[in-house]
Amino acid sequence: MTKDENSGKRPTLKDVALAAGVSVATASYALNDVGSVGGDTRRHVLEVAARLGYRPNLSAKAMRTGKTSAIGLILPDLTNPFFPALAQNVVHAARESAYSVFVTDTQGSPEAERAAAQALIQRGVDGLIWFPINDEDTLAELTGGLPVLVLDRDNPRHDLIQIDVDSGGRMAAERLIRAGHRRIGVISGPTDVRSSRQRSESSAEVLRRHDALAWHLHNAYSFDLEPAVAAAVADGSATALCVGADLIALGAINTLRQRGLRVPEDISIIGFDNIPYGALAFPGLSTINIPVEEMGIEAVNTLLRRIAKPTESRRRLVFDVTYVERGTVAPPPAP
């Protein structure tokens, strides 16, 4: 009573052992439920630990075991509306397993990506969830044997969680065809990333097959359309748009509105990503949904499995996308 909870400091394992009248080793075994400890002793130790409010010092544990039960999440840009939901689910899923998450944002620069990874590795994270900014294997020399899960990219060395973008691109194109459109423009997002390119390429392919591809341009990942794109969008050459990213699609809607065109009466639009903005627009943006929430959860599951079994064979998980109909698709206007 007077000796136990004194000293103001957080109680250490030694304090627990002392108070319980056992050795530090026994206390450790009891608390971790390993080794051979008598039933009575175990209960007693647990009880004392609870009474003292003992919390193991994770730094010490980490140093001894080499495991921090922390993981790192490396994202290109937190303010990109696609990522917060992903991060949220990663954090939650990790918490379920008593892992904490260092979140890092690399602002689109490979150097920042490397710096972030370095810092995390030095901190001793048990694994990394990495959404690379491009197709390069930027972290190749850094990671050593560290478990890494790569999102939405290809990588020969790591577990992968990907999206069936082809099917998404096709769905969008087919939906517009089915609505009766025959002059459809395609706007792709960044072309330096394969998964992004493919979205639009598979759209374009479908459209070509139906002889319905009006044009295929591309635009940076941004709400603002580049002049050439803005022009094409509004010059009447297409009655519908298949856009590789919601943010660009919203930008397109904006441009059209500014030029007095109506969506979807004059021109139909389908986006890709299902970012939260889309549901808030008026009319709501029809788009291809990516199950980010599940991806986040599955990312930590897969990573934790890899941490537990480093030698298991590499995994590659592909998530299906779905078309979500809102208000931006209609039949083409009568000529």
Partner DNA sequence: CCTTAAAAATGAAACGTTTAATTAAAACAA
Partner DNA sequence: TTGTTTTAATTAAACGTTTCATTTTTAAGG
Question: Among residues 92 and 305, whose Cβ is nearest to a second copy?
Answer: 92
Question: Of a second copy, DNA, none, which one sits near residue 41, judging by CB under 5 to 8 A according to partner kind?
Answer: DNA
Using the contact rule CB under 8 A, the part of the chain among 146-154, 245-253, 300-308, 309-317 near a second copy is 245-253
Q: How far is the CB of 197 from DNA (least distance, A)?
A: 43
Question: Of DNA, a second copy, none, which one sits near residue 101, judging by CB under 5 to 8 A according to partner kind?
Answer: a second copy
**What are the counts of helices (DSSP H) followed by strands (DSSP E) for the chain?**
12, 12
Question: Among residues 15 and 246, whose Cβ is nearest to DNA?
Answer: 15
Using the contact rule CB under 8 A, the part of the chain among 95-103, 127-135, 200-208, 307-315 near a second copy is 95-103
* Angle between helical axes of 39-52 and 13-20 (0-180°, round to 10): 120
- Which residues have C-beta within 8 Å of that of residue 150, sequence separation ≥ 6? 130, 131, 132, 158, 159, 160, 161
Amino acid found at 248: I
Query: What is the rounded distance in angstroms from the CA atom of residue 331 to the CA atom of residue 266?
Result: 9
Answer whether 33's CB lies under 8 Å from 41's CB.
Answer: no
Question: Among residues 56 and 154, whose Cβ is nearest to a second copy?
Answer: 56
Question: Among residues 25 and 228, whose Cβ is nearest to DNA?
Answer: 25
Structure tokens at 66: 């080499």
Which of 57, 97, 109, 237 touches a second copy (CB under 8 A)?
57
Give 14's DSSP letter: H
Q: How far is the CB of 13 from DNA (least distance, A)?
A: 3
Nearest CA among 268, 242, 82, 97 for reference residue 179: 268
Q: Is 52 a binder of a second copy (CB under 8 A)? A: no
Q: Please compute Rg for the chain using Cα positions.
A: 26
Per-residue DSSP letters for 209-259? Answer: HTT-EEEEEE--SSSSPPHHHHHHHHTTS-SEEEES-HHHHHHHHHHHHHT
Which of 17, 116, 238, 241 touches a second copy (CB under 8 A)?
116
Query: What is the rounded distance in angstroms from the CA atom of residue 13 to the CA atom of residue 190?
Result: 54
Q: Is 60 a binder of a second copy (CB under 8 A)? A: yes
Q: Is 217 a binder of a second copy (CB under 8 A)? A: no
Q: Is 140 a binder of a second copy (CB under 8 A)? A: no
Using the contact rule CB under 8 A, the part of the chain among 73-81, 131-139, 178-186, 266-274 near a second copy is 73-81
Question: Of DNA, a second copy, none, which one sits near residue 147, judging by CB under 5 to 8 A according to partner kind?
Answer: none
Which of 6, 7, 97, 100 touches a second copy (CB under 8 A)?
100
Query: What is the rounded distance in angstroms from the CA atom of residue 274 to the CA atom of residue 172?
Result: 13
How many of the other CB atoms lie within 10 Å of CB of 190?
18
Question: Among residues 195 and 254, whose Cβ is nearest to a second copy?
Answer: 254
Question: Among residues 6 and 258, whose Cβ is nearest to DNA?
Answer: 6
Answer whether 161's CB lies under 8 Å from 295's CB.
Answer: yes
Residues that bind a second copy (CB under 8 A): 55-60, 62-63, 68, 70, 77-79, 81, 83-85, 87-88, 91-92, 95, 98, 100-105, 107, 115-116, 118-124, 223, 250-251, 253-254, 257-258, 276-277, 279-282
